[in-house]
Amino acid sequence: MKNLAKLFSGMLLVFVIAACSQETPVDTAAAPPAESAEEFIARANTELAELSKEIGAAEWVRSTYITDDTAIVAAAANEKYAKWHSGMVQQALAYDGLELAPKTQRAIDLLKLGTSLPTPNDAAKRKELTQIATELEGMYGAGQYCRNDNDCISGSELEGLMGESQDYDELQEYWTGWRTISPPMRDKYERYVELVNEGAGELGYGDLGEMWRAGFDMSPAEFEGETARLWDQVKPLYDELHCAVRAKLGERYGEDKVAQDGPIPAHLLGNMWAQEWGFIYDLMEPYPGESDLDVNSTLKTKNFSPQEMVRSAENFYVSLGMDRLPDSFWTRSQFSKPRDRDVVCHASAWGLDGGNDLRIKMCIKQTYDELRVIYHELGHNYYQGAYKDQPPLFQDSAHSGFHEAIGDTVTLSMTPEYLKEVGLVASAEISDKAVINRQMQMALDSIAFLPFSKLVDEWRWGVFSGKIAPQDYNKAWWDLRLKYQGIAPPTERGEDYFDPGAKYHIPGNVSYTRYFLARILQFQFQRSLCEIAGHEGQLAACSIYGSKEAGDKFFAMMSSGQSEPWQDALQKLTGTREMDATAIIDYFAPLMGYLKEQNAGRNCGW
Ligand code: X8Z
Ligand code: ZN
């Protein structure tokens, strides 16, 4: 369920609610409810805390040990939860139309909305859906590309290779190889769409997409408009970046392979999904040798262990005045890929036992990219720890984008000065050229990511609403990739393929707009935190490392959980009630100037 992000952030949330359950019928006729609304919510909170422990344990074991047995255990736990939730949502109907205290009303609304995967009201279908959802995530986690029986490469390894290779054909092999995992998901996904929509329909939503969009303290239609507005704000910056990158890739691979008036081949951007392009920084570095941003080589020469990398992230949060992570974090987390079994390597942060048992699950590699993912994941953990004293129904972020934005905000403070201070680079230059270099490095991840993070759910919204029919799943995916990102697959991708399934969040049933919003919010947060920290000068040069004042304000926002509308939380930190991309645009103003110069005379667009 959506607000079980309080349990696990950015991972499979197969917990479900349904409108009414056949097993626990409740008479909703005019008689007053047996419990007051406050009593009902108190009971919901108690039962939720109890159930969450069991589900958390089953899910953790499933994700760190993928077998047929753990699939049974996890699906059963989720089914149990779903049944409980169905009953609670049905019981909550008794309070419809009553005048309730605002917090009580909010708790009831969140209970009703609190699922990313609503199951139908039919016991057999509920079981079927929890099993399909568990299976789909397992197929992703266990996915590998095999040249033959003895030569298989895991997803995590392939991801690494995509960042390292510069050989056109080799990249194409990894790219197409990874996408062999998803065609077998296609039929299951189609059935999952039918079932989740049935579940969402029983809750009063047109389809699951509409239900996901309803979780933002505004109407689904207004929210869709908000995402479009934010995209329009940032698109001009993306277009300049696309143009500059395409030109350089044309030099590297030849203009016969990278046509200068069309989309970029999707396998040349250093990333399996072309979502973040930081691995082609060497190609794009504006002023070679101008500043030392090579954290990768420090990690290798100093031979950082996964634990040391995590410690570095923890130290940052501690510098803001936050607590050290509990001992159990260090003993219970999964930092490395186990050699002897399948696990879900896709990074996630877990707040088990009501936020008292924090963990991350990763397969950490010795790269700067992964280091930043660790900082990102700990942002989730610190959020989970901050709201742990809220009642369980309020134990989640203000909206899903806030959860993703905490760690992302912190990574903005990984300035050259900070990296030097903690020994991750040898020198820190502050020349104008060094600033542009760092901006390029950041934009390759942050700006390149925006259209991708916008389109993933646009595809799903279309799929759930029926606008995208099953026979067009792949075509619609590539149409959106072309429209937003200006990229194209290296080979023909007909409907025998199911390329969306090769991205974790599709089989994992994790909504994606959260990342789009986070990429914008993080700059808004940073602008305010830097002001609080007393930073003067360019925002891009600000690090809040060591600022207890900024840390206090950040923590205060996190500790509210989802007890209030996100607009209130945003206002307390930033003074505004609107998400706004001007902060990211201002941040990258120096790079925008550089890109425009570079692109002068080029025929941009695709
Ligand atoms: O899924 C994640 C996190 C887990 S919360 C590692 N991210 C998105 C992705 O990998 O696709 C972080 C950025 C985008
Ligand atoms: Zn995350």
Confidence band for 34, pLDDT divided at 50, 70 and 90: confident
Q: Which tokens hold the place of 190?
A: 């189609």
Mean pLDDT of the region 230-257? 98
Q: Over range 460-485, report the average pLDDT.
A: 98
**Which residue bears the tokens 């992703």?**
140
Beta bridge partners of 264: 487
- Model pLDDT for residues 493-523, shown as the tens digit of each residue: 999 999 999 999 999 999 999 999 999 999 9
Per the CB < 8 A criterion, the answer to whether 393 and 44 are in contact is: yes
**1 and 117 in contact (C-beta within 8 Å)?**
yes
Which residues are CB-neighbours of 266 under 8 A, at least 6 positions away?
175, 274, 481, 487, 488, 489, 490
Of these residues, 85, 267, 403, 505, which one is catalytic? 505
Residue 504 Cα to ligand 1 midpoint, Å, equals 9
- How confident is the model over 165-169, as a mean pLDDT? 98
CA 490 to chain CA centroid, nearest Å = 26
pLDDT at residue 16 is higher than 70: no
- Predicted local distance difference test score (pLDDT) of residue 204: 86
Q: Estimate the share of the chain in helix, then strand, then coil, as percent rounded to the nearest 5.
A: 60, 5, 35
Higher-confidence position of 83 and 293: 83
Residue nearest to atom 5 of ligand 1 (CA): 10
Pocket test for ligand 1, best of 444, 515, 522 (most atoms within 8 A of CB): 515
- pLDDT at residue 291, rounded to an integer: 77
pLDDT of residue 293: 76
Q: What percent of the chain has pLDDT over 90?
A: 88
**Is the model's pLDDT at 571 over the cut of 80?**
yes
pLDDT recorded at residue 577: 98
In this prediction, residue 290 carries a pLDDT of 83
Checking if the pLDDT of 286 tops 80, the result is: yes
- The answer, yes or no, to whether residue 4 has pLDDT greater than 50, is no
Q: Is 561 left (phi over 0), alpha (psi -120 to 50) or beta?
A: left
- 39 carries an active-site annotation: no
Q: Which two tokens stand for residue 32?
A: 């007053």
Taking every pair of C-alpha atoms in the chain, what is the biggest distance, in angstroms? 76
Pocket test for ligand 1, best of 63, 373, 397, 513 (most atoms within 8 A of CB): 373
CA of 275, closest atom in ligand 1:
11
Which is the catalytic residue, given 240, 404, 429, 458?
404
pLDDT at 222 exceeding the cut of 60:
yes
pLDDT (tens digit per residue) in 407-449: 999 999 999 999 999 999 988 877 889 889 999 999 999 999 9
* 347 part of the active site: yes
Q: Is 85 a catalytic residue?
A: no
User: Taking all residues of the chain, what is their mean pLDDT, rounded to a whole number?
Assistant: 93
Whether the pLDDT of residue 23 is over 70: the answer is no
Distance CA 425, CA 598 (A): 28
Is the pLDDT reported for residue 125 higher than 60?
yes
Residue 378 Cα to ligand 2 middle (Å) = 9
The pLDDT value recorded for residue 33 is: 78
145 in active site: no
Spatial distance between the Cα atoms of 290 and 48, rounded to a whole number of angstroms: 54
* CA distances in angstroms from 209 to 106, 176, 239, 550, listed in the order given: 21, 29, 28, 36
Count of C-beta atoms within a 10 Å radius of residue 31: 8
Q: Is 337 exposed, middle or buried (0-12, 13-18, 19+ CB in 10 A)?
A: middle
Active site residue 128: no
Instruction: Name which of 93-102, 317-326, 422-431, 553-562 the model is least confident about.
Output: 422-431
Please say if the pLDDT value at position 275 is more than 60: yes
Give 289 Cα–ligand 2 centroid separation in angstroms.
Answer: 32
377 is catalytic: yes
The angle formed by the CA atoms of residues 306, 307 and 311, to the nearest 5 degrees, is: 120
Q: Catalytic: which of 159, 198, 210, 377?
A: 377
Pocket of ligand 1 (CB under 6 A): 9-10, 347-348, 373, 376, 515
* Arithmetic mean of pLDDT, 329-348: 96
Judged against a pLDDT cut of 60, whether residue 531 lies above it is answered with: yes
In the predicted structure, residue 24 carries a pLDDT above the cut 60: no
C-alpha angle with apex 195: 26 to 43, nearest 5 degrees? 35
Q: With CA atoms as reference, report the closest residue to 455 among 475, 492, 491, 485.
A: 485
Sole residue written with tokens 């990342």: 515
More reliable by pLDDT, 25 or 266: 266
DSSP designation for 145: E
Cα of 142 vs centre of ligand 2, distance in Å, is 21
**What does the pLDDT read at residue 32?**
67
Examine the residue annotation and report whether 242 is marked as an active-site residue of this protein.
no
Q: Is the pLDDT of residue 13 over 70?
A: no
pLDDT of residue 9: 41
